[in-house]
Structure formats: C-alpha cells, structure tokens
Amino acid sequence: MKHVSFFALLLLVSVLTLNAQQTVICISTEETDLIFKTAPSGRLYQSYFGKRLMHETDIQSLPYYIARPASDDSVVPRGWEVYPGSGAEDFFEPAFAVRHNDGNLTSILYYRSHQVNEIEPGVVQTVIRLADDSYPLEVTLYYVSFVRENVIKSWTEIRHHEKKPVVLSQYASSMLYFESAAYFLREYSGDWAREAQRSDQELKFGKKIIDTKLGSRAAMHAYPFFQLGLGQEVEEDRGRVLAGTIGWTGNFRFTFEVDNVGNLRVISGINPYASDYELQPAEVFRTPEFIYTLSEEGVGKASRDLHRWAVNHQLKDGKGDRLTLLNNWEATGCDFDEAMLAGLMREAKELGVDMFLLDDGWFGNKYPRVDDHAGLGDWEAMRSKLPNGIPGLIASAKEAGVKFGIWIEPEMVNPGSELFEKHPEWAITLPNRDTYYYRNQLVLDLSNPQVQDHVFGVVDRLLTENPEISYFKWDCNSPITNVYSPYLKEKQNHLYIHHIRGIYNVLQRVESKYPHVAMMMCSGGGARCDYEGLKYYSEFWPSDNTDPVDRLYIQWNFSQFFPIKSMAAHVTSWNPSASIKFRTDVAMMCKFGFDISLKEMTPDE
Ligand code: DGJ
C-alpha cells in the first residue's frame, strides 16, 4: 500500500465530514435519473445517468466521484464534473473556456444554489447556479425534464461582472458522461438529394467530432442529431441508447471523447469555430437547447419518446392539423404563367388537397426571376408572368376552392436584384476578395438589425397586402460564403452566432404577429431540420429527392428524431417507373402533398 501522509489523511477526514452537507440534485423522468452531487470542494459532479432508481438509499449511496486509474494518486477523488472549465485537473475536452480580463484562461465553477419548479404538469425545470470563486463569473445550468415523455432538454447561461468583456471560446449546452464496455455511434451525413444517410462506428480512445460550418443552416453534410449505443450496437428494439439533437439552425458541434479509463463524454452545443464570443459585463450568453432521451429498448423507443415530446411540447402547432397541398416546383420550375397556375389550382381541387402552393419564380421585375440567377430580394409579383399579382392568384385559388400558399427565400439576395443595387452592404460578402456565389446568391446579414427588419418586412408586407395567404414555404438555399459581415466590422467573430439569433428574432416577430400562418422550413432540400426552427415552422422539407425508394430511407432516418407530421412528403415524377400507388403510399407516411401535374398521370392513376 502506498504511504498516505498525515495531511492527506486530514483531507480525507474533512472530505467525509463535509459529505454530510452534500447537495444532491435529481433530474428525473418516469424512466430515467440524471443525478448530480457536490463534492466536499463544492464542485458539482455527475454521479449517475441511467434507469430510474427505485429507492432513496440507492441515490444516497452513489459516490460523486469515479474510479480513477492507478497513475492518479491524488487524495481528492476525480469526478465527472457537470460543467468543467479549463485549467484544472481534467485533461480532456472542457465544456467551457474563457479568457478573463487579466488574461487568465482558467475557470473552476462551484455549486451555489439550485431550484426545482414544476413549470406545467409533467414538466419539471431544474436551475443550477454555479460560480467561479476567483472571478465574478456565473454559469446557470437549465434542465427541463418531460417526465412522461422521458425527454430532457438542457442549456446554459453565462454572465459575468468583470470590468471589460471576457472572451468565451467554449460554451457547451450540455456535457454528459458514460461508463460502458463499448460505445457505438450512429451518425447521419449526406448532401443535397441524399439527406440524412446513416452510418455506424465504434468509438475508441480519443475524439470523434460531428460539426458543421454552414452558417445559415445546421445541416447538409452532417446532421444535428445522433444515436449512441451504450455497451452494444444501436438496435431498433433492444439495448441502451442515447438519442440526442441540438436546437440550433446554425453551426453545431457534438464531441464524443473516450478517455484513458474508457469513459465517454458527450459535449453538445454551438460550434465555436471562428466564434470566440466577447461577452460584455452583465450580458447573458444563452446556449441552444440540447434535447435527449435515454432508452433501454433501442432506438425505436427513443424515437417514439421524441415524437411524443415534440408533438406535446416543442413543434409549432404540434397537436394541430396540417394542410395537404399541391406544389408546382417539380411540374413547372420557374416556367409558368397565370393561366397555367389557375389550371393547377383546379387540379389541386380535383386531387382533393387543401391548398395550392406556388413555388419559386413568381417575383422580380427589373431583374425577373426566370431562373435562379436573379431576382432574390425583390418580392414583387412579376408583371409579365402574373399581371394580376398575388391578389389575382388568390382569386383563382378561391374560384378553384383551395387555399393559397407561397414560396419565399427572404434571407437571401441575388447580386442581380434591386435590393442589392440599393443595399449591397446588407449582404454577407468580402470587400477585398473575389466573391463566391453559391446558387448565384448571397446570404443577407441577419446580424444587422436593419436587415432583420427587412426580412420581417417581406413577410409582413405580403401578409398585410394579402391576408388570405395561408402558408409559406420558407427556403434557404445557400450556406454562408465569403464570411464577412459589413455590419459587424472588427467583430467578425460574432457573425455566426448573431446571424442565427437575428433569424430567430425575425421568426419570433412573425410568430407573434401571425401565429396562425403555417410555414414549412426548407433549405435546398432538408438542410434545416432542427428543433429550434420547429418552434416556428409546423413542418420541414426533408429532401428534394422524392424518388419513393430513396425517400423511404430519408424519411425513416429523419423519423428517428422528428414526428412524421413535421415532415413534408410529396408525390412527384422523380421516379416515374414507380407506381403512383407506391409513390402515394410513401408520401402519405408523412405530411402529404403532391408536386406533379395531373397531365403526368393516366386517367386510371
Ligand atoms: C429548393 C427546394 O428544396 C425546392 O423544393 C424548391 O423550392 C427550390 N429550392 C426552389 O428554388
């Protein structure tokens, strides 16, 4: 046995004595307990995350610390710190990193207090206040447990009272730890028209990161959700699985790190890439929500729990009906006129759907939107195609007996547009380099409050002038390129975060003024698919790929996280060799619609 010094013994005794005042925090659903305990030092540790414990004594007997390797002979046991900062004895990825006014890069957070409130029946919020003891800096951890649905969401608020701004370089929403014999990660990746393809791998020592840097949407190559098999591969109806997703419509990052003793930490949040955040004294930095469920019966159970939770608590109009529709994008592209649209509206009625949805190509006069090269930004009906404007279309829809919805992409601008002529400084673009155009367009700078007003104004004006518009398909076809905000100037490190906050500001205004107008979230196919967006949109468009065979996989994979009523699916001619019956069956699994002209079908069909 190793020699234990007198001072070490003294410390051990004080550890035990202080243990009497230990704080225990249980974040529970009907099936799961996440338990935190304070150490004698006053720091807070994850003591347990697993099946609901049956007895108080089970909770009391849990240690706050974890077994440590022989190489670590410190007397104070090492733990899984709930929100570890940098510069202490944890040698792996922190949840949080800050540069204080004096240049110090360390931060150690101590438990101060916590509160538990039932915010509505079956929804319990736990708020835990931590503070650094050497700097006036506070971190508040929020956990909301949806008791019946077995879902927890958590986020963090950071604030300080130093004299000048501090710089945050890591600011996770959540940190969770696991101890298992093996870890198997199921992630989702893809691209346009092959969204959310799943792949599995075993996690071994070191880090695996899933992240994106697309700026204006969470997804395209990587998706903001994952499943983690604990002790066994991910299976449909057996085994322990964590299913998690981040509610953030921009750059996200999941870090999975297996450490020297085979424990896994899972850190979720905004991707801090190019986003060191200068936090002003008294300003509150709020991270996005990380939403997760722990299932003991495979991913099938996890997905059903997420569906129930989404419908009951998160998804816009979760319990409401949806409008079935006929969209014209696949049938016409930008090539249509008033008479053709009126014909499609009559077809919509014949098909028995609720609404006709007019897609891209209806706007722009000086720079007409004849294809995707011009017009974005100029949200005036194109006189040559639509001499009677939107009111004329609404009149035709009424005559046909269907509602009317319309496509917009208000966060974007084509350089060929009156908007760009007037406000080139509203576009995110570099003043001193060649411009790279993704789909011939630029992203408007939503970090700029004037641009937020403009984007809200697009929706507001359309609805004020045409209160009969029932629905928007809100698209976002470009990631942020030429990453420079003319508005933020020397604060470019705030662009990715302020841009997304700017989008939420617009969406909140739309929601509060027009709560009954339904909207579809679309992003060049399925690149926007996150639960913060779905607070404002009742559904999203999973993919432009509507070949029913491919769509089955895409829909199945998204359905691991999202309820089917939140996913739009249309019958189209992507694969005309598939029967109309099969195409319809696949589309009917989700929120149903058509994007086809009756002329493409036989009378029998
Ligand atoms: C991308 C969307 O995914 C399509 O459905 C369609 O709306 C086009 N944009 C229009 O430009």
pLDDT of amino acid 11: 33
Residue type, 131: A
| Locus of tokens 């958590």 | 154
- If you average pLDDT over residues 237-249, what whole number do you get? 98
Q: Packing angle between helix 338-351 and helix 389-400, nearest 10 degrees?
A: 30
CA of 325 to the centre of ligand 1 (A): 15
Condensed to tens digits (0 to 9), the pLDDT of residues 435-448 reads: 999 999 999 999 99
d(CA 287, CA 468): 37
Residue type, 564: I
Residues having CB closer than 6 A to ligand 1 are: 329, 359-360, 407, 475, 477, 522, 524-525, 541, 544
d(CA 36, CA 39): 10
DSSP three-state, residue 483: coil
Conformational region of residue 482, where left means phi above 0, alpha means psi within -120 to 50, and beta covers everything else: left
pLDDT of amino acid 140: 99
| Locus of tokens 């001499």 | 387
> Which residue's alpha carbon is at the smallest distance from atom 2 of ligand 1?
524
Judge contact between 293 and 306, C-beta under 8 A.
yes
The DSSP bridge partners found for residue 501 are: none
**Position 477 pLDDT exceeds 50:** yes
CA of 307 to the centre of ligand 1 (A): 26
Residue type, 349: K
Q: How confident is the model at residue 64 (pLDDT cuts 50, 70, 90)?
A: confident
pLDDT of amino acid 66: 72
Q: How confident is the model at residue 68 (pLDDT cuts 50, 70, 90)?
A: low
Nearest to 168 by CA among 107, 89, 87: 107
- The encoded tokens of residue 88 equal 């202490």
Closest ligand 1 atom, residue 525 Cα? 3
Condensed to tens digits (0 to 9), the pLDDT of residues 285-318 reads: 999 999 999 999 999 999 999 999 999 999 999 9
> Which residue's alpha carbon is at the smallest distance from atom 5 of ligand 1?
544
- If you average pLDDT over residues 25-39, what whole number do you get? 98
Q: Which runs of consecutive H residues, i.e. helices, occur in 34-129?
A: 56-60
> Which residue's alpha carbon is at the smallest distance from atom 11 of ligand 1?
360
Q: How confident is the model at residue 2 (pLDDT cuts 50, 70, 90)?
A: very low
- If you average pLDDT over residues 142-155, what whole number do you get? 98
Closest ligand 1 atom, residue 522 Cα? 3
Per cent of the chain over pLDDT 90 is 93
pLDDT of amino acid 16: 36
Q: Which residues contact 85 (CB under 8 A, 6 or more apart)?
A: 94, 95, 96, 97, 98, 106, 107, 108, 109, 132
Task: Kindly state the DSSP code that residue 479 receives in the 8-state scheme.
Answer: -
Closest ligand 1 atom, residue 544 Cα? 3
d(CA 132, CA 23): 18
Whole-Å CA distances, 155 to 69, 246, 313, 568? 31, 10, 16, 29
CA of 335 to the centre of ligand 1 (A): 14
pLDDT of amino acid 76: 64
Show the CA angle centred on residue 420, arms to residues 418 and 421, nearest 5°: 60
pLDDT of amino acid 67: 62
**Position 1 pLDDT exceeds 80:** no
Q: How confident is the model at residue 65 (pLDDT cuts 50, 70, 90)?
A: confident
- The encoded tokens of residue 496 equal 């990715």
pLDDT of amino acid 78: 75
- The encoded tokens of residue 38 equal 């304070």
**Position 237 pLDDT exceeds 90:** yes
Condensed to tens digits (0 to 9), the pLDDT of residues 42-51 reads: 999 999 999 9
Q: How confident is the model at residue 119 (pLDDT cuts 50, 70, 90)?
A: very high
Is pLDDT larger for residue 66 or for residue 216? 216
Compute CA 579 distance to the chain's CA centroid, rounded to the nearest angstrom.
35
**Position 536 pLDDT exceeds 90:** yes
Q: Which residues contact 388 (CB under 8 A, 6 or more apart)?
A: 338, 395
Judge contact between 215 and 250, C-beta under 8 A.
yes
How many helices (H) and strands (E) the chain has is answered by 11, 30
CA of 210 to the centre of ligand 1 (A): 26
Q: How confident is the model at residue 17 (pLDDT cuts 50, 70, 90)?
A: very low
Look at strands 174-179 and 206-211 and give their pairing. unpaired
Whole-Å CA distances, 224 to 195, 255, 343, 568? 12, 12, 40, 19
- What is the four-CA torsion angle of 337, 340, 345, 348, rounded to 10 degrees? -130
Average pLDDT over the chain, rounded to whole? 95
d(CA 212, CA 222): 6
**Position 9 pLDDT exceeds 50:** no
**Position 224 pLDDT exceeds 80:** yes
Condensed to tens digits (0 to 9), the pLDDT of residues 545-599 reads: 999 999 999 999 999 999 999 999 999 999 999 999 999 999 999 999 999 999 9
Q: Packing angle between helix 449-465 and helix 495-513, nearest 10 degrees?
A: 30
Whole-Å CA distances, 23 to 35, 115, 127, 300? 10, 12, 14, 35
Q: How confident is the model at residue 3 (pLDDT cuts 50, 70, 90)?
A: very low
Site to substitute for ligand 1 among 477, 541, 546, most atoms within 8 A of C-beta: 477
Site to substitute for ligand 1 among 376, 522, 551, most atoms within 8 A of C-beta: 522
d(CA 154, CA 146): 11
- The encoded tokens of residue 536 equal 């404002």
pLDDT of amino acid 443: 98
Q: Which residues contact 516 (CB under 8 A, 6 or more apart)?
A: none
- If you average pLDDT over residues 244-270, what whole number do you get? 97
CA of 2 to the centre of ligand 1 (A): 68
Q: Packing angle between helix 548-558 and helix 580-588, nearest 10 degrees?
A: 10
Closest ligand 1 atom, residue 526 Cα? 3
- If you average pLDDT over residues 475-487, what whole number do you get? 98
Nearest to 88 by CA among 107, 69, 74: 107
